[in-house]
Amino acid sequence: EIYRDEDFISFNINDILSSLSLQALVRMKTRGRKRDRWLNYINKYKIELEPKEFSLILKLGALFTLYVDGYEIDGTQGDVVIKEFRVTGTGSNVEHIIKVLKEMTPRLIIHEIKQNIWYMITAYKVPYIDNQLKKLDKLFLNSDRLECKELNEDLDMRICRI
């Protein structure tokens, strides 16, 4: 159960090129309380844009989104930070994109084909989970909430094809 609205901020390739640090990106894209909140998140959760992630965004033209959510599971509350990398397009280079995304070891990659014309591939990394929620991780070890036509596991990574 989510106990507060998710907070998110997105950056495209042009944003990434114009500001090489996450703090500079936040300062460029936000104002007022939202800016203060995001700068606090970056410091509190030690969020950074890793060199592999930076390179991946440039190589694939990915949209980069950061989420900070508060969750409550069985009475235990905690925060989670999620990095999302989304690539869309047409053509047949899907396997190449998935291969490039796998280099940064996300926890989940979702590959969707829309109307047999275009694809959307989204990779998720979780750089921060509150310790209280980590303890509950074993409860959800074998639970699946996505309905995948095909689900492949590779080390600590899952690839879901919808």
- The model carries a pTM of 0.88
pLDDT score at 143: 52
pLDDT score at 39: 96
pLDDT score at 148: 81
> What are the mean pLDDT values of the chain's consecutive 10-residue runs (162 residues total)?
74 91 94 95 95 94 94 82 95 90 94 89 94 72 66 85 86
pLDDT score at 101: 95
What is the rounded CA–CA span in Å between residue 1 and residue 146? Answer: 16
Beta strand spans in the chain (E)? 7-11, 63-73, 76-90, 108-114, 118-129, 150-154, 157-161
Domain ranges of the chain: 7-161
pLDDT score at 115: 81
What is the rounded CA–CA span in Å between residue 39 and residue 19? Answer: 15
For 74, the token pair is 């069985």
